[in-house]
Amino acid sequence: MSLLLKDVSKKYGSFTAVKQLSLHIPKGEVFGFLGANGAGKTTTFRMILGLIEQSSGVITWNDERITYNQSHLVGYLPEERGLYPKLKVKDQLVYLGRLRGMKKTDILKEMEYWLTRFNVPEYAAKKVEELSKGNQQKIQFIASVIHRPELLILDEPFSGLDPVNVELLKSAVIDLKKRGTTIVFSSHRMEHVEELCEHLCIMHHGQPVVYGKLGEIKRSFGKKNVIVHGDGPFEKLANIHGVLKVKQTVEGVSLQIENEQVSQAIFKGLSDFSFIRKFIVEEPSLNDIFIEKVGASYE
C-alpha cells in the first residue's frame, strides 16, 4: 500500500515543470514535499489527484491509478482555497460530503467532531464569507478530511494560520497519521516539516535535489552548527579553519562548520576573556539544507 510516482514529467507547452520525478510514499507516512516557489509542487499534487494529466510517467495509489471513481479515497486541500462564500459551513460540508458518497448523518457527525476539535462549533450556521481567512482555512481542511480519505494531500496547510491554529492543525495531522492516513504536504516553513515528517523531498526546477529520511539527510549533509551563548569576544572564531559561516545572535554567536571535528577547535579557540553559558554542536536545520540546495541558484 503506497503512493508511487515513476518517471513523472509535466510539460506546459515547451516548458517542463516536473522532470522525471520518482517517489515512493509508504502508507501511513507524513511526507514533506518542499521546494521554492515554482519548483513544481502544486503541479505534482494535481497530477497525483488526476486533475491534470502528466505528460509521461505513471502514478499509482495501491497499484491503481487515481480516477474519479476513487475520489472518495483521496482528500485535497488546494493552495487556492475553493469554498463557496455565500453558503453556510454546514450546507457546504454536507454538499461536499455527499459528492463523496457519504450519508448526511455521517457527514454531520464528522462535522461536529472537527468543528468542536477546532474550537468553532458555532461556525456550522455561518456563511463562509463571514469567517476570517484563517478560519475559512480550518473549514477547508475539514472539507478535505470529512470523508476519512486514505490519502490526504495538503498544499500549504499552515499558511496564514496563527500559532494556536497551526498547533491545532498539526495535532490533527498527527492523529490522522495514527489512524493510518497517508499525508503528503507542502510547506515553506521548514520547522513544520521537521516536526511532522520522517521522509521528505526538496524539489528544485521540477526535480528532487534532496530525497529521503530526515535524519539521514541531516547526517549526510556533513556540515554542523555550533551554538555559543555567552559574552564575547567571538570575532576570532571566524578565522578557525573549517568555520564556514558566523552569525551574531542575541545570545552569542552561531557558526556553521565543515564537520564535527571543527567544533573542538572552536571550543579551544574561545578566549579566556569570554564568558560561556552554553556550547552546543547541532545537526544542520532543514532550513540550512534547503537554502544550500535551492537558494544558491538565486544568488
Contact positions toward ligand ATP, by CB under 6 A?
12, 15, 17, 35, 37-43, 79
The residue (of 47 and 243) whose beta carbon lies closer to ligand ATP is 47
The residue (of 206 and 252) whose beta carbon lies closer to ligand ATP is 206
CB of 241 to ligand ATP, least distance (A): 38
Strands 151-155 and 182-186: parallel
CB of 277 to ligand ATP, least distance (A): 39
The residue (of 53 and 63) whose beta carbon lies closer to ligand ATP is 53
Contact (CB, 8 A) for 199 and 247: no
The residue (of 72 and 188) whose beta carbon lies closer to ligand ATP is 188
CB of 22 to ligand ATP, least distance (A): 17
Residue-wise burial string across 150-173, b where 16 or more C-beta atoms lie within 10 A, e elsewhere: bbbbbbbbbeebeeebbebbbebb
Q: Is the peptide bond before 233 cis (omega within 30 degrees of 0)?
A: yes
Q: How far apart (Å, rounded) are the C-alpha atoms in residues 130 and 127?
A: 5
The residue (of 16 and 254) whose beta carbon lies closer to ligand ATP is 16
The residue (of 47 and 253) whose beta carbon lies closer to ligand ATP is 47
CB of 225 to ligand ATP, least distance (A): 26
CB of 158 to ligand ATP, least distance (A): 13
CA dihedral 66→96→80→128, nearest 10 degrees, is -170
Q: How far apart (Å, rounded) are the C-alpha atoms in residues 130 and 71?
A: 29
Residue listed under C-alpha cell 499534487: 45
CB of 19 to ligand ATP, least distance (A): 11
The residue (of 9 and 92) whose beta carbon lies closer to ligand ATP is 9
Q: How far apart (Å, rounded) are the C-alpha atoms in residues 157 and 186?
A: 8
Strands 2-12 and 74-77: unpaired
| Secondary structure string (H, E, C) spanning 133-166 | HHHHHHHHHHHHHCCCCCEEEEECCCCCCCHHHH
Residues 6+ apart with CB under 8 A from 237: 228, 243, 246, 253, 255, 266, 269, 270
CB of 251 to ligand ATP, least distance (A): 33
